[in-house]
Amino acid sequence: MNELMMVISNHDSALYAPRDLLKMDQTIYAQLFKIANTQRYRERRERKVVSIDDAIQVLSFEKVKQVAMNTTILYHYDK
């Protein structure tokens, strides 16, 4: 999680830099797809978002960071 936050927070990071880190956490990964495929984010897209690269692009680093933090907090709260 810390490594993911560092990559996302770095403004010089490539758009797809967090891809491999996100794939390691299936909960965050699933949440990103769920959100990226909502009507709000799919306005101009004809097809569903099916790759993590597309999800990152549709959502932006800031939203990916927010989803990762919220998902992690909820996960630890439920324990």
**pTM value > 0.95:** no
Q: Are 16 and 6 contacting, i.e. CB atoms less than 8 angstroms apart?
A: no
DSSP assigned state of 19? H
Question: Which positions ≥6 away from 33 have C-beta within 8 Å?
Answer: 49, 50, 52, 55
Q: How many structural domains is the chain composed of? A: 1
**For residue 17, what are the domain limits?**
2-78
At 15-59, the pLDDT tens digits run: 667 788 888 888 889 999 999 999 998 877 788 999 998 998 899
Residue partners of 21: CB distance under 8 A and separation at least 6 = 3, 4, 7
